[in-house]
Amino acid sequence: MSGRRRAAATLAAGATLLALAWGLGPRSAPPLYDGGPIIAEHYRYLHPSPGFTSTKPPSTVDVTLKLEDGQSPGMAETTDENPAQAQLLAAANTFTLPPGTTAAHVSIAPVDPPAVAPPGGDLDGNVYRFSVAAVPGGTPMAFRSGQQVTVVLRGPAGVSGPVLELWDGTKWTKLDTTPLGNTAPDSYAANVGALGDIALVAPPAASNGGGGGSGGSAGLIVAAVIAAVVLIAAATVLVLRATKRSAGPPG
């Protein structure tokens, strides 16, 4: 236990220092690992347009995670594209556990879009269904009070200004969306307090022009910091799992 806590504390401190370095350092300096442009594979559509050549369907996430110290586990689940088209990041103890829960089942999958189109915009890529359910039973796990998770979606290349929106079965709701910039091209992140069907929605073509303005450089700083948090969160979960596996069962 102490080893895992030390690993988490080290990574958390590194995240803080990295965020400060990116936020306060020269704006012309890219992140250290950003040695060149990221070459992304073509977007994988659930329903490609006629004539569109795609060799692979979009990938999915279907994984069962054990509880951690009697709490919902940390999650850093991503689809297999490069870069991933959908990601779910959650800290440990984000979800409530129904009685008898022994594990959490995480699912991310592209689904058919709802019959109701997003108002004032067009779908930019696939609609993804995010779910976290209790094992056994399959009951959706509710968020603990005040908790959120981070959802990241990548859309097709070259679309300006899409935002993440959540479909709750009756209406679309815009989410506070941050582009991740060159760190993850065409990828956008948002914190959510509920899971469901989430998609990128692009504004009408007429509203794509103009904009920008004085907030551009500040937006890049924010995007870099959020990208750092996304990457460190994923690394934290992976390190904790690796440490737990290497420790093995108690003797």
The set of long-range contacts for 74-81, using a CB threshold of 8 Å and a minimum separation of 24, is 74/236, 74/237, 74/240, 75/104, 75/106, 75/132, 75/149, 75/237, 76/233, 76/234, 76/236, 76/237, 76/238, 77/106, 77/108, 78/234, 79/108, 81/41, 81/44, 81/154
- pLDDT for res 184: 83
| CA 23 vs CA 38, 113, 224, 226: distances in Å | 22, 38, 8, 11
What order of strands is seen across the sheet that includes strand 75-78?
75-78, 86-90, 149-154, 187-192, 178-179
- pLDDT for res 154: 97
- pLDDT for res 50: 77
What is the Cα–Cα distance from 223 to 211, expressed in whole angstroms?
A: 17
- pLDDT for res 209: 37
What is the Cα–Cα distance from 232 to 37, expressed in whole angstroms?
A: 21
- pLDDT for res 185: 84
Torsion (CA) 156, 222, 9, 190 in degrees, nearest 10: -50
**Ranges under pLDDT 50 in the chain:** 1-35, 206-225, 245-247, 250-251
| CA 48 vs CA 53, 118, 157, 162, 195: distances in Å | 8, 20, 15, 20, 26
Query: Is this prediction's pTM over 0.75?
Result: no
Q: Which of 203, 102, 195, 107 is nearest to 151 (CA)?
A: 195
